[in-house]
Amino acid sequence: MAAPSVAVDNLNPKVVLNCEYAVRGEIVIHAQRLQQQLQTQPGSLPFDEILYCNIGNPQSLGQKPVTFFREVIALCDHPCLLEKEETKSLFSADAISRATTILASIPGRATGAYSHSQGIKGLRDAIAAGIASRDGYPANADDIFLTDGASPGVHMMMQLLLRNEKDGILCPIPQYPLYSASIALHGGALVPYYLNESTGWGLEISDLKKQLEDSRLKGIDVRALVVINPGNPTGQVLAEENQRDIVKFCKNEGLVLLADEVYQENIYVDNKKFNSFKKIARSMGYNEDDLPLILASLVMNPPKAGDASYASYKAEKDGILQSLARRAKALENAFNSLEGITCNKTEGAMYLFPQLSLPQKAIDAAKAANKAPDAFYALRLLEATGIVVVPGSGFGQVPGTWHIRCTILPQEEKIPAIISRFKAFHEGFMAALEAHHRHTGSLLHSAFLARSPHLTSLTYIAGSIAPSPAANEMLRAAARALTVSSLNPKVLALADHHLGGLVARRAQSMQQELDANPASHPFSEVLALCNHPHLLDRSEASFMFSSDAITRAREIGIEGLRDAIAAGIASRDGLPSYSEDIFLTDGAAAPVHMMMHLLICGKKDGILCPIPSHSLYTDSMVLRGATLVPYYLDESRGWSVNISDLKKQLDGARAKGIAVRGLVVVNPGNPTGQVLVEENQCEIVELCKNECLVLLADEVYQENIYTDQKKFNSFKKVARSIGYGEGDISLVSFHSVSNGYYGECGRRGGYMEVTGFSSEVRGEVYKVASLSACSNISGQILMSLVMNPPKVGDESYPSYRAERDSILSSLSCCAEAMVSTFNSMEGMTCNKAEGGISVFPSVRLPPRAIEAAEAMNTEPDVFYALRLLESTGIVVVPGSVFGQVPGTWHFRCTILPQEEKTRQIISRFNYNSMPSSMDSLRCYSPHTILIPKTIRSRNLIRASMDSSFSGPESKKAPNSVSFTSKVNKVYEDKSMGILCYTDESGELICEGFDEGPRLTWQDMEKINREKELKAEEDRRERMMRIGVAGIDWSSLRTAVSKPVSMGEELKK
């Protein structure tokens, strides 16, 4: 049997060895195990629930082409509708039932929360059931990874498979440019194979084999094969026999099969049907061990016969597909009727890909214009008719052939007008080229104008990349921190034929001309034929917001969302902001990765990053092979930025040959919770300006400020206030709906404001952003509302203001209580939480605990966090995840749990920090298991590699078992019936030969505590002394609004 094509040792080491998102790492994995144990064995642990204080997930709150889908989404988004009687008359019964089932599977019963990184288990179960029903073979929910569209899934696989430029991916030509762009961006080699146009875009195995062998002879390690079925842009549906050949080829050659199946529902011919590659592989007898397979799929569990919505759902679905089939046929016939155009039958997907036989004069004219001939044709078509298509050169094609991609998506009533315009243009284009030389653009334009004087407007869907007005006034270009020549060449090498490329940009400029002068172009609308289908599907937020918010979202449109955000920024800063500077994104992580793609060319490029900081930045740098240049925040000065240390780290890195490209600043801090003072911000701006660094400002917690002595100032405002304009400093600000008082983590909405970049650099930013088509519309809407919330006089203002103030007051209250509690504990100190959603206390651990952690091959703060979890059920994130000064130990604890939960957290923390617990840490030894006489004959003792008994009696316990800790090291005491060993996870276990109940080390601790009643009384007295047992939370809220510290209030 051939070696598997994907294994840990042949994955990208940047991902497998160096990258870890520890907020979802060891601690949380163990918490999930304990959660399962609590569910299956209630009472087996010394607590009854897990309290997640580890991640910024502050709320659990709860989209219309196909009515059923939108109904379910609307109900999930606004769960309170399920409680209203009127809902039964507005929504179908099965939509209500489905929404109820889905909400029950979501933590917190709402869609505004972070989910498992793989996706919500209940939803993955439903998708797996849909796949099983489709294929007739089992599907496992653990194999499903839910993503923001197919693009992130593709990028993930490229990151995993592509280790360097010698790793290649077999990719069809023509193909959707997502694949070629992703391969280029991740530094791999594109190995093209050509689809056979003469056989209906069939995949020729002989050509595939030839391309593979040629690449291997050149030293390319081909890792995978991309297949798109139904095809994009070609519209073909592969025959089952062809699919079998592909599966066998991948199996024999040890290739991962990357199957793009996103158009599986769109089949328009009776003689073919969609078969998933998984189904084909299983039908051939291949299982998971034989063929690694990654699929990108669509909606998998629609209404079924008998459901209340089934009739309307089927009517809508059939109506859509039948209309698409009619449109495809009409366009196909029209293209084939024209001189110089041939078009294969559209069997599936949403596109036609006709071939153009262009006259030599057209090719010469395109060459003179420095354009590909099909791009030249598409521009002329746009100029003459307003029809937007995509040049085939953007997808790849056999050299010497030219194509265009045309969608079949415009409404059916518009198809005749499209055909009429296209025919008139093409006939005039061909006739003019027969009679004239290459300067025919204006002649054709005039000729078409004479034929169509009634055309006066422009319609299209595209993004804008024009620079803001201020950007045009840059005077210091030579001193910019970021120029085209300094960008990642992988980005510059990307083809500019993407769907947001040359043709779409020209359409944008024409729209601007029409807005200024409606008579400047001879047509009424541009018919959008070539855009991503889901861009046409505008999400409605019908039940998410109040009536004024809904109206605003419907009226302003996608361009208006950026306008609203720019207006909100301008209101916040008191300075102009331009929508052209705003890039809407899926949260804040996506734009961070974009900027790293742009800034990082290799390991000699570095980014200054604060320590401690969120792991997003360090992991993004690791993935792109950059050098992290750390600078330490000053804990003794409230986690401020020490400029002298910053300069020292910068100079030290440059002395080592590192080209430092940017500086990351997180304000308010995460995990530290500090708010930078304006003077400190001015120093940072000056440093970036003088050292030509891009300032990457993470400002996602800007609304969460809990101190009257400080306020949030954006770095853009600070830079402008000291006289620096766009030409002086390059600045990127990140914001997100996941954070702040709104906490809509599951919505994945965010933006970056890009200022101080030239139009050329801005174009490259847009190119990278366009690889994912667009961010989700719901997130865009919500981001615009966050930056432009209800105002005095709006219907929603009173309730909005009350909700916001209540959330912020509660967060401030919890922060004060936690800080005061931590500072009252032995061995802990904690800076005041001024902003953000977390505190970051320092823990002074005893030497024995540090030694024990080292013996367990773990960090001391991880050791502490695991002990805390085992003892109390509280989940925190060890400080080593975020970085810290060597020799210091911390943990991050969020202030997000509700107030009643915060009381439990504080109580449990105090219990765990009792002198007996600290004594346990001081006396801890990983080499000794102490077995009390009272339980020595019990069946099983799980000791978790620690001495669970810290009292005097336990230290004197007889017959203790001692040995060196080592996996599978065995100790036997046959006289006592005891067998001790460590399992695969390194956990120490003692088993008895006698039958009896299973005991954990917590059980042993409980037995020991029964003998220490006096210590228990001391603990209670201590709790009363620090005020935890009797905190007056209403008075704490009052204290928050006064200049009296929480500590003083607690002392009262």
pLDDT digits (tens, 9 = 90+) for 163-180: 778 889 999 888 887 788
Say which range, 679-683, 716-720, 933-937, has the weakest mean pLDDT: 933-937
Residue 733 neighbours by CB under 8 Å, 6+ apart: 697, 699, 714, 715, 716, 752, 753
Other Cβ atoms within 10 Å of 694 Cβ, number: 24
pLDDT tens string 729-780: 889 999 887 776 666 666 677 888 888 887 777 777 777 776 665 666 667 6
Give the whole-angstrom CA distance, residue 946 versus residue 179.
Answer: 51
pLDDT score, position 56: 39
3-class DSSP assignment, residue 501: coil
Say which range, 22-26, 208-212, 829-833, has the weakest mean pLDDT: 22-26
Which CATH topology does 150-296 take?
Aspartate Aminotransferase; domain 2 (3.40.640)
pLDDT score, position 665: 93
Give the whole-angstrom CA distance, residue 681 versus residue 715.
Answer: 7
Give percent of the chain above pLDDT 90: 7
**Over residues 264-291, mean pLDDT:** 79
Which CATH topology does 338-528 take?
Aspartate Aminotransferase, domain 1 (3.90.1150)
pLDDT score, position 66: 57
CA-closest candidate to residue 754, choices 787, 729, 782, 720:
729
**Over residues 855-861, mean pLDDT:** 82
3-class DSSP assignment, residue 835: strand
Residue 650: HSE in the Cβ half-sphere, 13 Å Cα cutoff: 19
- Give CB contacts under 8 A, 24+ apart, made by 97-102: 98/72, 99/71, 99/72, 99/75, 102/72, 102/76
360 pLDDT above the threshold of 80: yes
3-class DSSP assignment, residue 145: coil
pLDDT tens string 397-456: 888 888 888 887 777 777 888 888 888 888 888 777 666 544 444 433 333 333 333 333
CA-closest candidate to residue 501, choices 653, 631, 375:
375
User: Domain segments of the chain: what residues?
Assistant: 150-296, 338-528, 547-787, 920-1011
547-787: in CATH 3.40.640.10: yes
pLDDT tens string 182-220: 787 777 888 989 988 888 888 888 889 999 999 999 999
More confident residue, 884 or 901: 884
3-class DSSP assignment, residue 691: helix
pLDDT score, position 46: 63
Per-residue DSSP letter, 888: -
Per-residue DSSP letter, 2: P
pLDDT score, position 679: 92
CA-closest candidate to residue 505, choices 770, 185, 233:
770
Please give the structure tokens belonging to residue 313.
């759902």
Helices and strands, counts by H and E, the chain: 36, 34
**Over residues 488-492, mean pLDDT:** 48
Q: What is the per-residue DSSP string for 401-437? A: -EEEEEES-S-GGGHHHHHHHHHHHHHHHHHHHHHS-
Q: 344, 200 in Cβ contact below 8 A? A: yes
The distance between the two most distant Cα atoms of the chain, rounded to a whole number of Å, is 108
Per-residue pLDDT band at 1006 (split at 50, 70, 90): low
Q: Which residues pair with 341 in a beta bridge?
A: 356
553 pLDDT above the threshold of 50: no
Say which range, 621-635, 839-853, 987-1001, has the weakest mean pLDDT: 987-1001
3-class DSSP assignment, residue 539: coil
For 42, 429, 893, the CA distances from 36, given in Å and listed in that order, are: 10, 69, 23
pLDDT tens string 943-1002: 222 333 233 333 333 333 333 333 343 344 444 444 545 555 555 555 543 434 444 444
More confident residue, 276 or 912: 276
Per-residue DSSP letter, 41: S
Say which range, 592-606, 734-748, 989-1003, 1005-1019, has the weakest mean pLDDT: 989-1003
**Over residues 856-873, mean pLDDT:** 81
686 pLDDT above the threshold of 90: yes
Q: 185, 491 in Cβ contact below 8 A? A: yes
Q: 895, 815 in Cβ contact below 8 A? A: yes
For 343, 353, 471, 566, 618, the CA distances from 195, given in Å and listed in that order, are: 14, 12, 44, 46, 41
Same CATH fold, 547-787 and 150-296? yes
Per-residue pLDDT band at 225 (split at 50, 70, 90): very high
Residue 899 neighbours by CB under 8 Å, 6+ apart: 810, 813, 814, 1033
pLDDT score, position 364: 87
3-class DSSP assignment, residue 356: strand
Q: What is the per-residue DSSP string for 900-965? A: HHHHHHHHHHHHHTSHHHHHHHHH--TTEE---GGGTTSSEEE-TTS----SHHHHT-SS-EE---
Give the whole-angstrom CA distance, residue 230 versus residue 349.
Answer: 6
More confident residue, 663 or 447: 663
Please give the structure tokens belonging to residue 241.
């026999």
Say which range, 83-97, 664-678, 927-941, has the weakest mean pLDDT: 927-941
pLDDT score, position 652: 92
More confident residue, 400 or 19: 400
SS (H, E, C) 963-993: CCCCCCCCEEECCCCEEEEECCCCCEEEEEC
pLDDT score, position 30: 54
Entry pTM: 0.61
Give the whole-angstrom CA distance, residue 627 versus residue 629.
Answer: 6
Say which range, 11-15, 178-182, 294-298, 641-645, has the weakest mean pLDDT: 11-15
Please provide the average confidence, as pLDDT, over all residues in the chain: 69
